[in-house]
Amino acid sequence: MTSTRNPMKGRVAFAGAATTGFVPRNSGRSQASWVAEACIKVLRECGLGPEDIDGVCGSSPSAAHVQAMLGIPEVTWFANPAIPLVNHVAAAAAAVHAGLCETVLVYHAAYRLPWNTAASLKDPFRRPQPVPTGPGPEQIGGSVGYTAWASRYIHEYGVPKEHFGYVAINDRTNASANPAAAMREPMTMDDYLSARMIRWPLCLYDMDVPVDGADAFIVTTAERARDLPLSPVLIQAVALGMAGKNDEEQTVDLDHHGQQVTVKALKAKSDFWIDDCDVYFPYDGFTIITLNWIENAGWCGRGEAGQFLQQHWDADQQRVLIDGRIPVNPHGGALSEGATQGSGHLREAIHQLQGVAAGRQVVDAQRAIVTTGGFFFNAQGVTLQRG
Amino acid sequence: MSSLIPDDELVSRFAGHQLDHDSAAHYRGRLERRLLISRCRECATWHHPPMPVCPACWSSDVEPTEVAGTGTIYLAVFLHQGPPAPGVDYTTPYPVATVELDEQPGLRFTSTVVGAANDDIAIGRRVSLDWIDRAGAPLPVFRLDGAAR
Residue B106 has its nearest CB partner, among A136, A140, A250, at: A250
Q: Which amino acid is present at B10?
A: L
CA A193 to chain centre: 25
A141 touches chain B (CB under 8 A): no
Q: List, in sequence order, every residue forming a beta bridge with B133; answer none if it has no partner.
A: B138
Give the lowest-confidence range in A120-129, A195-204, A328-337: A120-129
| Closest-approach residue (CA) in chain B for A156 | B123
Each residue of B115-125: pLDDT tens digit?
999 999 999 99
Each residue of B18-41: pLDDT tens digit?
888 999 999 999 999 999 999 999
Q: Is there a contact between A250 and B112 if contact means CB atoms under 8 Å apart?
A: no
Q: Is there a contact between A138 and B96 if contact means CB atoms under 8 Å apart?
A: yes
What confidence score (pLDDT) does residue A317 get? 97
Alpha helix segments (H runs only) across B37-141: none
CA–CA distances in Å: residue A38 to residues A21, A164, A267, B85: 9, 32, 32, 40
Give yes or no for residue A91 having a pLDDT over 50: yes
| Residue A72: strand, helix, or coil | coil
Under the banding of pLDDT at 50, 70 and 90, the label for residue A188 is: very high
pTM higher than the cut 0.90? yes
Q: Is there a contact between A152 and B74 if contact means CB atoms under 8 Å apart?
A: yes
DSSP string for residues in B9-36: HHHHHTTTS---TTTHHHHHHHHTT--E
- In this structure, the number of other CB atoms found within 10 A of the CB of residue A159 comes to 17
Residue A136 has its nearest CB partner, among B18, B74, B134, at: B134
Give the lowest-confidence range in A43-47, A314-318, A323-327, B57-61: B57-61
- Chain A residues near residue B58 by CB distance under 8 angstroms: none
Each residue of A299-332: pLDDT tens digit?
999 999 999 999 999 999 999 999 999 999 999 9
Contact A180, A345 (CB under 8 A): no
CA distance A381 to A369: 7
Q: Is there a contact between A138 and B110 if contact means CB atoms under 8 Å apart?
A: yes
Test the B interface: residue of A115, A117, A151, A154 with most B CBs within 10 Å: A151
- Helical (H) or strand (E) element with A25: none
Q: Is there a contact between A135 and B94 if contact means CB atoms under 8 Å apart?
A: no
Residue B16 has its nearest CB partner, among A133, A148, A245, at: A133
Alpha helix segments (H runs only) across A236-304: 258-269, 287-297
| Domain boundary assignment for chain B | 2-66, 71-144
CA distance A221 to A217: 13
What confidence score (pLDDT) does residue B55 get? 87
Outline where DSSP puts E strands in A45-88.
55-57, 77-79
- Helical (H) or strand (E) element with B40: strand B36-40
Contact A47, A228 (CB under 8 A): yes
Q: If contacts are CB pairs under 8 Å, which of residues 101-120 in chain B contact chain A? A: 106-112
Positive or negative CA dihedral for B119, B122, B127, B131? positive
Average pLDDT, chain B: 93
Q: Is there a contact between A198 and B111 if contact means CB atoms under 8 Å apart?
A: no
B23 touches chain A (CB under 8 A): no
Q: Is there a contact between B16 and A148 if contact means CB atoms under 8 Å apart?
A: no
What confidence score (pLDDT) does residue B1 get? 44
Contact A173, A314 (CB under 8 A): no
Read off the pLDDT of each residue in B119-137 and give the average, rounded to a whole number.
Answer: 96
Q: Which amino acid is present at A101?
A: C
B14 touches chain A (CB under 8 A): yes
CA distance B8 to A134: 18
Q: Is there a contact between B109 and A249 if contact means CB atoms under 8 Å apart?
A: yes
Residue B85 has its nearest CB partner, among A136, A198, A200, at: A136
Give yes or no for residue B109 having a pLDDT over 90: yes
Residue A249 has its nearest CB partner, among B17, B83, B98, at: B98
Residue A140 has its nearest CB partner, among B93, B96, B107, at: B96
Read off the pLDDT of each residue in A17-44 and give the average, rounded to a whole number.
Answer: 95
Q: If contacts are CB pairs under 8 Å, which of residues 80-99 in chain B contact chain A? A: 80-83, 85, 88, 93-94, 96, 98
ipTM over 0.90: no
